[in-house]
């Protein structure tokens, strides 16, 4: 258990960051799920709109340190290829 004041503060900070990062990750997954559902329904317009909404959310995850840059790039690339293949 954390005994020193520094360790106690670090434990508080870790808990706060964990909650924030968890919310961000959940939000990103929601946007990605909307794109997946639009692709599954076969609606290209809806899929493109969902993809445009998901792009800034993914990049925000990168800048905030929730996702690695290459992970976000890979997800964007694969989703955009699948949306493009709908037409």
**Using an 8 Å Cβ cutoff, are 31 and 53 in contact?**
yes
Q: Give the domain ranges of the chain.
A: 5-86
Per-residue confidence (pLDDT) for residue 2, from 0 to 100: 75
Per-residue confidence (pLDDT) for residue 38, from 0 to 100: 96
Per-residue confidence (pLDDT) for residue 68, from 0 to 100: 97
Backbone φ and ψ for 66, nearest 5 degrees, come out as -85, -35
pTM reported for the whole predicted model: 0.86
| Domain 5-86 in CATH 3.40.50.150 | no
Counting residues of the chain whose pLDDT is more than 90, the rounded percentage is 95
- The chain-wide mean pLDDT, for the chain, equals 95
- Interval 21-51: pLDDT, tens: 999 999 999 999 999 999 999 999 999 999 9
Which band of pLDDT confidence, cut at 50, 70 and 90, is reported for residue 87?
Answer: confident
Mean pLDDT of 60-82: 97
**Residue partners of 10: CB distance under 8 A and separation at least 6:** 2
């Amino acid at each position: 258990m954390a005994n020193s004041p520094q360790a106690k503060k670090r434990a508080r900070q870790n808990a706060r960051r964990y909650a924030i990062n968890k919310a961000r990750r959940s939000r990103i997954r929601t946007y990605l799920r909307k794109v997946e559902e639009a692709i599954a329904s076969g609606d290209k317009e809806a899929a493109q709109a969902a993809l445009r909404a998901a792009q800034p959310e993914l990049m925000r995850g990168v800048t905030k340190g929730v996702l690695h840059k290459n992970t976000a790039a890979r997800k964007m690339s694969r989703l955009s290829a699948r949306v493009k293949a709908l037409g």
